[in-house]
Chains A and B, each alone.
Chain A
């Protein structure tokens, strides 16, 4: 009898262990996802207190980021124009494709280090990261949806209600929680481990071309706008690019209504710039060489110097961002299981 009981309990335990093993995703205790500002960087702008990052919130944000449900016809998730392998820009597209064979009106920017940015869009029209997703979701030429309809689709989905419950205390599927989750995913897209960063940390060294390029980058005044370590000063600058008559994009002036802002666009970060071609607000330059030729009109830069600068810019490529499985649409986010 005693033996039988032992066997039964052993059997039950095995089933339990087996069940645990099958349910690995849910029960394995993993490291929490933590936002860490690199040492020596400026203070972040985003209000993390109002939206603390959790594994569940990040996981929800990642699912939303890659979910076509956020677009009218299901074809245009955030991730369609912000592709990880292209450093979260749109690979080889001057303009991106949106709903019903339409083009966007500006080049999709590479996403990184968003916690340090106080304004979004090429014209800085969006004043908070949480507000950013509302623009592409509702733009008729992008995702072409309405917020109430997106929320209704999420509420009717078999998975999302539980994910919202796990991510937020009130569990509500509402605008604020949806955008906060998206922010949690986007905030984690930190790029701070490029070769440049490793050189700064003393764990790698530039080759002779990269070192010469870096010296030029500083001496030619590139850092006036592309200030280290973020490689942007987040200012708005008129880059002397002729205004395209079809688009007639007045840039920052559309937001401020101030004629002094005509043709000004936000200085983009140069991090992962080798991956984020084509360049400028309208993607008019297909290569870094073309960008260099443009700047050579106002800055003294001979062909050799241009090549050296490009060699340096390539050290800003960060595979910890572009190849990190944590940000990949195909990899599940580990969940932290809290035992009460």
Chain B
């Protein structure tokens, strides 16, 4: 167990891990995204209340779910970086931030587009939407903070603190629809009890959530590989790899 954890602190091992995982995770992601989208757009039935506009659910919900989970990934990397000073955790935190920001932006934009035919407004200062906007600013804040520092070790520490403080926002986002009066509907998928969504609509949604998780993993690994290649450009293990190709 400890050996595996130690391996995750080794840049050559992580670089090779990225190189091995990306080639098979990428096709799985593309196929899952295509099948899920076609299923949701072409084969799922129309919603009796919202009509066909509900089909935005197949990108909006997966993007929002992974944006929240991605923040925990970034916070965990921040914690490891802060407590154990593992440089690779800084790399992981930096790799996850732009991906999380993009996912949050997708959730906000598709939510606004879905809001227009459903609520009659592109945007409302609703608890769920506002807390998601704060999540977007937290992601962007981490990126900006890292770039603002000359000393990258100090930058990583500052980003880790910001990331950890920002985790407070995640349960607020999750519970916002229960705590405050909101236009946003409560969660349709329940882990305990019956989901408030028909299986014919639920299965493509679950597939898309899985596909978005795979996409998050593959894009973070791509970012980490690019970052590692640059940070260790003078390392002999990387030069050997380059010369071996």
User: Do A and B originate from a single complex?
Assistant: no
Taking Cβ atoms with an 8 Å cutoff, the residues of B that contact A are none
Taking Cβ atoms with an 8 Å cutoff, the residues of A that contact B are none
